[in-house]
Structure 1
Amino acid sequence: METTSNKKVTIKRKRVKIERDVSRVITRLHIPENIIRIKHIVDRISPLPEEESERLYAEIVHRFSERHRDLENIFLEHYNEILNYTKISKRISDLKKRLIGAYFTMEYSIESAAIFNPSIIKHPNQSNLLDGECRFIMSLRATGEGHISSVVFRSGIIDKSSSVIFDPISEYVSTPHIVHDRFYDSHLFKIKLNEIGAWDNTSKEILKHIPEKFSFQELRNVINSLYSKLSFANKDKTINIMYWIANSNYFKMFNADSNLSERVIFPVSEHEIGGIEDARFVEFCNDSGESTYYATYTAYNGTHILPHLLETTDFLNFNIVTLNGEAAKNKGMALFPRKINGKYAMLSRVDGENNFIMFSDNIHFWNEAIEIQRPKYPWEFIQIGNCGSPIETDEGWLVLTHGVGAVRQYSISAILLDLEDPTKVIKSLKEPLLSPNEAEREGYVPNVVYSCGSMIHGENLFIPYAMSDVTSGIATVNVKDLIDNMEPEPH
């Protein structure tokens, strides 16, 4: 354990590290850029004698079955996908279908480039623990070939001496079943259409024929039935936008027998094909007193970013929705763990430079942002942002922040917000709490420490943090010492 100090506050770096593992691979559908090649490949496989097909397929299964659960169904799913691109005889055998599917399957190493930007929360299951222990879930951003980012998970226990013990990692990695046929709210759908300039005659006519709660298939059926009757200008553009909105909101279901560490939330929708970035998880206490786990994240399509919200109660089933409104933009949105004065509250950085807070009656819509903090010290002169959701303490809302200084060095610091009026910063650190040391400064993006969320256990704040966008570690600091050494902010 390494102990450092920012003059007054002592921070301890744990020796444990979360390292990338290039052997953690998922399967993906592989479609050649030149679509005509699909037919060429199928035409080469189809005439193979059954005996040769059996031998070839057995070799493929032998080589890859220990790396993936349910490999044969994966091949069959991929075969069904390519039917959207080419015609294949209906008389083809099930063996040939799986063999063809294998040729349109690729492996993708999700952590080959990095595993970083972690957040941590208490595990929903706190049973069978010793006194002073706490079970946790850690989310991390895994990045592979092409710099595509996904969300992965680790779990473990913090014991009464503040040691961190990680659970064994599964040898498998699995992606969930995607459900687009979930139900949409027509009122929210209308608001989103209006917000992006697509509430026109076409969308109005379509929504007239759709119930208050509708499925993706119901939307498709109504559009198909009305299409020839719609004579409005730009109808195709509007319909494409409606499909885009529907496809941006979906449901992910993992197998119940999967280990938490093998679940990966990989990009699915069009505007996250470039990656799911920097998930900030928080346990949110609902009005009923029950917990829902939310994570804000940045969806990247290779050109533009769009904030999303992920919702789960069990880390098996995840609901994915877009965040909407004038203030739902830029990176770094972080939800408060409960409502404040009857409203949802969210930290943000709408201008890319300063810290803001937002309030809303609807967790999916954010229209106004109030500035609460500007860069003030040399180590944050370029920009500031949050490092995860606020943590409630008796003294106020504890918020870890990051600041970018000279040569784009990222440091982590902290502020304290008023419990009843979190638009007020009541205390702050003048210096960074954590800056990259000599070992941490080298990496894919040098001179960076960064976190997406911390948690308190006992007397200590546990801060999982990334080191120069390659690997991750954990640091701890005494909560009382941290707050006591903050300086009051003038008002």
Structure 2
Amino acid sequence: MLSEDEVDEQIQHVLEEFHGRHQQPRKFLNHRFEAMRRYLPTDSPMSENRQLLIGAYFTQEYALESAALFNPSIVRHPDQTALEDGALRFILSLRSVGEGHISSVTFREGIIDAGNKISVREPTRYATTPEFVPDAFYEKDLFSRKLIELSLWNTFIEHALSTLEDNFTLVQLENAVNSGLRENRSRHQELAPIAEQTIMLARSNYEIFYSPECELSERLIFPFGPTETNGIEDARFVRFQEDDGSSRYFATYSAYDGNAVLPQLLETRDFVRFRMHTLNGPAISDKGMAMFPRKINGHYAMLSRQDGEHLYIMYSDMPYFWHSNELIVKPTYPWEFVQMGNCGSPIETESGWLVLTHGVGPMRKYCIGAVLLDLDNPTRVIDRLKEPLLTPNEHEREGYVPNVVYSCGSVIHNGHLVLPYAMSDYATTFATISIDELLSSMI
């Protein structure tokens, strides 16, 4: 074991070497020590420097954006104060890929001025760890429905939940399930996997939150839930308008655990506190889902791609349960024969719902197209582009996945579509086009 002098020397070296690379390093290392304290072989008191050094041994730097920064989605910033006339402040979400090819969501903010010039604020060099909490309370009825959808409902789980109130915490659920396992020791091997999956479902619904003083570019959505252990991919953000005029933001994303990809839903009002929820129901499959920015005829609506090839639409009275879908768009032109999907949430225009699509053609070349859906009946296609709106040029074809242009969400400002898009899964840029020009190009 190191002497106190050796401990002091080692921690001083660490703090000097990594000075300036991290914010409040002492506070962070102490936090890491507290997370490891229960694994120590003794409860004997120790010096502060020894605690910090233990925390350092269980800390490693991780470069969130070292491999790629792509698949962007853009939404109106909740703060539109202190802007020049005709300007819009926006939030840009991006899929960042780091060591081990683990994907997370990072943010940038910027301004589109009256002349549609786009400026993106320089990010800081830091990333901040959020506070993580499971859902404060789970609703028994809603949680039971999720268990039924996942074929986890049986008399064992029914009995465990019957001991809980209508609203319960994760700790209460764990105690009820573990108590049930003790009461059924003879069936432990049979029931333990069901108990584990039930707890895993609960842990997949959680919240993270940051201090409001934390810069937006320092906030990140890193995999926390058990369904996300290998990445959070392709978040499609949308500013959702409530019936009462208020708004919140939804984002559908793909959670990847190394074996399966599951669509999930993020919710936030301020980009400070984020709630993650599982999506459930027989219509939930595949990926690339995108919420409409408001209810349609009193129902939530979402674009989807259950078969991996076509565009569907779904309706629901609850944003977390989806039971049916309807096919609305099939691949029609050579550049989309392999498959097609959406490039973000529909955008409302006077002419209809503008939906940017992606199509895959020969040599797995991805292009971006567009269709126009009826405002009152989005199952009806009014117009669509015969030729792609955007194709990868010679400067955009090389990357981690070559020959790809792709987006997860656009915005209209000053009569122009502002389209952020990824270039071959390695970097991101912008394109703009007049809405009138785009709509007049459709057939």
Give the aligned partner of residue 416 of structure 1. Answer: 372
Find the counterpart in structure 1 of residue 320 from structure 2: 364
Aligned twin of 2:351: 395
Structure 1 residue 63 displacement after superposition: 1.9
The residue aligned with 1:330 is: 286
Which whole-Å CA distance do the structure 2 matches of 1:300 and 1:390 have between them?
A: 25
Query: Aligned letter for 1:239?
Result: A
Q: Following the alignment from structure 1 to structure 2, what is the Cα–Cα distance between the partners of residues 454 and 222?
A: 46
Match of 2:167 in 1: 213
Which string of whole-angstrom CA distances, capped at 9 and with x for unpartnered residues, describes residues 21-59 of structure 1?
A: xxxxxxxxxxxxxxxxxxxxxxxxxx2222221121111
CA RMSD of aligned residues (A): 1.3
**Aligned counterparts of 1:412 and 1:162: Cα–Cα separation in 2:** 21
For residues 15-414 of structure 1, what are the structure 2 equivalents within 5 Å? Answer: 47-83=1-37, 85-180=39-134, 182-230=136-184, 233=187, 234-414=190-370
In 2: Cα distance, 1:447 partner to 1:243 partner: 42
CA displacement at 1:223 relative to structure 2: 2.8
Kept in 2: contact 1:175–1:266 (CA 8 A): no
Query: Any conservation in 1 of the 2:344–2:355 contact (CA below 8 Å)?
Result: yes
Distance 1:225 1:73 in 2: 38
Which residue type is aligned with residue 334 of structure 1? Answer: A
Amino acid at match of 1:94: E
User: Equivalent residue for 1:474?
Assistant: 430
- Residue deviations 1:244-292, cap 9 Å, x none? 1111000001122110011111111222111100000000011221111
1:204-237 per-position Cα deviation (integer Å, ceiling 9, x unaligned): 0111011111111221232344432236842212
Distance in 2 of aligned mates of 1:248 and 1:300: 12
Q: Distance in 2 between matches of 1:225 and 1:50?
A: 45
2:400 corresponds to which letter in structure 1?
Y
| 2:193 maps to amino acid | K
* CA distance in 1: counterparts of 2:228 and 2:32, whole angstroms: 21
Q: CA deviation at 1:480?
A: 1.1
Determine the C-alpha separation between the residues in 2 that align with 1:139 and 1:81. 30
**Residue 163 to residue 283, structure 1, CA distance change in 2 (3 Å):** same
Q: Which amino acid aligns with 1:377?
A: Y
Q: Partners of 2:102 and 2:145 in 1: how far apart?
A: 31
1:304 Cα deviation from its structure 2 partner: 0.5
For residues 90 and 319 of structure 1, the distance between their equivalents in structure 2, rounded to whole angstroms, comes to 39
The alignment of Structure 1 onto Structure 2 pairs a total of residues equal to: 441
Instruction: Indicate whether 1:484 and 2:443 are aligned.
Output: no
Give the AA of the match of 1:399. Answer: V
Q: What's the CA shift for 1:118?
A: 0.1
Deviations 1:145-190 (A, max 9, x none): 1111000000011011110011121121112111125211111110
The answer for the alignment partner of 1:34 in structure 2 is none
One-letter amino acid of the structure 1 residue matched with residue 149 of structure 2: E
The secondary structure found in structure 1 opposite 2:52 is helix
CA distance in 2, matches of 1:342, 1:223: 38
Tell me the percent identity: 49
- With 179-188 and 468-477 compared, the bigger mean Cα shift is at 179-188
Structure 2 letter corresponding to 1:300: Y
Query: After alignment, is 222-231 or 121-130 more displaced?
Result: 222-231
Tell me if structure 1 keeps the 8 A contact 2:367–2:388.
Answer: yes
Alignment-mate amino acid for residue 22 of structure 2: H
- The one-letter code of the counterpart of 1:62 is E
Relative contact order, higher structure (CA 8 A, sep 6+): 1
- Report which stretch shifted further, 86-95 or 166-175: 86-95
> How far off is 1:83 after superposition?
4.1
Q: Quick one: distance in 2 between partners of 1:291 and 1:66? A: 38
Contact 1:382 1:404 in 2 (8 A): yes
Cα separation, 2, equivalents of 1:73 and 1:320: 27
Query: 2 CA distance for matches of 1:184 and 1:232?
Result: 29
Q: Which residue identity is paired with 1:332? A: G
* C-alpha deviation, 1:94, in angstroms: 2.8
Q: Determine helix, strand or coil for the equivalent of 2:60.
A: strand
Query: Does the 8 Å contact 2:181/2:192 carry over to 1?
Result: no
Question: Letter of the aligned partner of 2:87 in structure 1?
Answer: E
Question: Does residue 431 in structure 1 map to residue 397 in structure 2?
Answer: no
**TM-score, length of structure 2 as denominator length:** 0.97
SS of the residue 1:59 aligns to:
helix
Q: CA deviation at 1:485?
A: 1.5
**Structure 1 length-normalised TM:** 0.88
Structure 1 unaligned blocks of 5 or more? 1-46
Could you give the per-residue CA deviations for residues 305-360 of structure 1, whole angstroms, max 9, x where no partner exists?
A: 01111110010100001111111111100000000011100001010111100000
Q: Give the letter for the 2:102 counterpart.
A: I
127-136 vs 209-218, greater mean Cα deviation? 209-218
Deviations 1:406-455 (A, max 9, x none): 00000001000010010111110001000000000111111000000000
Unpaired segments ≥5 residues, structure 2: none
Q: Name the SS of the counterpart of 1:294 in structure 2.
A: strand
